[in-house]
Amino acid sequence: MEGKQLAPDFVGATEVNGRRAQSHFVVFLTGFTNPGIVARYDFDEPGEDKCWSIYRSTIMERLVPDEFSAEQVWQLSLPVVRMSNHRLGLRRLPLPHIRAQLHMTERYYNHRPHLVLPHPPSSTWTSDLQSGDVSGVSIQQQGSFFGFSIEFGVTTQVLGLNSSFLQVPFLNLMANLRQRGGSVRVRVGGNTQETATLVASTPDGAALEKDYAGIANPTATLPLVFTTEIIKMMAEISALTNVYWYMGVPFNDTQHWRLQIAEVGEAMLGNYLIGLQGGNEPDLYSRHGHRPDVSPQDYKDEFGLLIDAMNADSNIPNKDLLIGPNLAGMWSPTDIWETGFATDFNQNLAALGVERYPTDNCYAQFGIGTPRTGPEMLPTFLTHQAGKTIVPWLSDSFRAALWGIDYALQLAYSNFSTVLFHVGGQSVYYNPFTRSY
C-alpha cells in the first residue's frame, strides 16, 4: 500500500497490523488533528462492512492543531521487516527534542503543580482486642466443613467397584481435600438408601445390584441390594484419605427394621462412621408414593421406633449417631420442632439435618411445577455480570462453584457445621463432579 493515498486530505501515520502466520490484517490511521482521530480498516470484514471506521477520537483542549508537526518513520523489527511508526512534535521545537516537547505540552492541559507524594503511614499501630466472646459469632468451623453426598445407587461408579478396585480420580480428589482441610466428610445415601438391603452375595458377584423392574415412584429410584464390599470399600478409602462417612438406615419398612447397615457400618468403619440418617426427605414420602398422608408427627413416631430398635440391638454399640429430620423443604423445620423431635431424641441425635434444593427443573421432565429457562435463572447466579461482561471466558462450573461457596458460607455463619454437595448420577444436572468413566 506504500505510495497509495488511503484517505483524502488525511494527515497522519499509517500502521499495518498482522503477522505472516495469520490471515487477519488491520490498518490504523492516526490523524494529527483536533480532535485526534484513529481510523480503522479491517480487511477481513465482509462485503459492505469493509470500510473505514472511527476506532478512537480524542479531544485535545487548549492545543492549536497548526502547531503540530508529524513525521512518519520506519524501524526494523527483523533484518528484513520494516515497521511503520511516527513522531509528533511542536513546530517551535525540532522533532529530536521529543522529551522536551512532551514536558512542555503538559502545561497546556494540566495547570496544576506536580503533586508531592505523601509520607507513608506508620508501620506500627494499636488495636484493642476484645477479651471475651463476641456476640453473633458462629460456632467454630472445621476444615472439613465442605463435603460430598453420594447417591447410594452410584457408589460403584464414584467410589470404586469393590474394596480391591478403588476409583483413582475420587481418591485424588479426597487426598487433595484432606491435604487442605485435614479430613473429608462424605455421605452415602439419598433416595436409594430407603430400599437398600444388605445381602451376603449377589448372583453375579457385584458389590451392588439394582432392581430395574422394581421402580414404582416418580423419581425412578431403584431398589437395590449390596454386600459388605461396599462398606469395606469405604473403610479402605478412609485408611488412605481420612474420609469420615454418613450412612442411612432404610426407612421404607418401619415395622421390620433392616439395621444391618448400622451393624456392619459400625464394625467396619469404627470412628470413621459419624452419622446414620433416619429417613431421607420424609416430607416427600406422600408425593413419591412411599406413605399415605405422612405428617411431621408420624415421622417423629417412626423415628422413635427406630431408636427403640437400635437400643435393643447389641450389635450397634453407638446409639447416638442418628441424624434427622432430613427434610426436603415441603415441611419447615419448625413443623418438626413443634413435635418435640429435637428435645425428646437429644440423647440419640448426632446432628440435625436438612436437604435443600433452591429451585427445581421438574417441569422439563414431568411437566409439573414451574418452567425454567436459562435466561431467567442465570441472573440469580453469583458473578453473573462478571461472567457476561468483564470475563466472558468464565466457565459455568467456576460460576457454580462461587455460588456454592457463597451459599455454604451463609450456612456456616448460621451455625451449620457441615455442607455436602450431592452427586446423583449421570442423569442429574447439579452434580459437583461426574463419575470417572
Query: Got the DSSP string for 376-400?
Result: HHGGGSTTHHIIIII-TT--HHHHH
pLDDT of residue 133: 75
Q: Which parts of the chain sit beneath pLDDT 50?
A: 1-11, 93-113, 382-390, 437
Asked whether 53 and 28 are in contact (CB, 8 A), the reply is no
pLDDT of residue 2: 35
DSSP string, 169-238: HHHHHHHHHHHHHS-EEEEEESGGGGG-EE-S--TT--SEEE-GGG--STT-PPPEEE-HHHHHHHHHHH
Alpha-carbon gap, residue 176 to 178, rounded angstroms: 5
pLDDT of residue 289: 81
- Residue whose C-alpha cell is 432430613: 326
Alpha-carbon gap, residue 113 to 232, rounded angstroms: 77
- Residue whose C-alpha cell is 436437604: 355
**105 contact partners, CB below 8 Å, separation of at least 6:** 63, 90
**297 contact partners, CB below 8 Å, separation of at least 6:** 339
Omega of the bond prior to 35 within 30 degrees of 0, cis?
Answer: yes
Q: How many CB atoms are located within 10 Å of the residue 339 CB?
A: 18
What backbone phi and psi angles, to 5 degrees, belong to 281?
55, 60
β-pairing, 243-249 vs 184-189, is: parallel
pLDDT of residue 361: 73
Asked whether 184 and 244 are in contact (CB, 8 A), the reply is yes
- Per residue in 28-38, pLDDT (tens digit) is 666 656 566 66
Structural domains in the chain, sorted by start: 12-109 (no CATH), 146-423 (3.20.20.80)
Distances (CA, A) of 208 to 125, 192, 199, 238, 296: 63, 12, 10, 20, 32
Report the alpha-carbon angle 360-364-365, nearest 5: 95
Asked whether 369 and 363 are in contact (CB, 8 A), the reply is yes
Asked whether 145 and 408 are in contact (CB, 8 A), the reply is yes
pLDDT of residue 385: 44
pLDDT of residue 110: 42
Alpha-carbon gap, residue 357 to 283, rounded angstroms: 13
pLDDT of residue 14: 56
Alpha-carbon gap, residue 194 to 191, rounded angstroms: 6
pLDDT of residue 163: 95
Beta bridge partners of residue 358, listed in sequence order = none
Distances (CA, A) of 329 to 101, 355, 371: 72, 7, 19
pLDDT of residue 367: 82
DSSP string, 126-145: ------SPPTT--PPP-TT-
Which value, to the nearest 10 degrees, does the dihedral of the CA atoms of residues 169, 171, 175, 181 take? Answer: 100
- Per residue in 349-384, pLDDT (tens digit) is 999 999 987 777 777 777 888 887 766 665 555 444
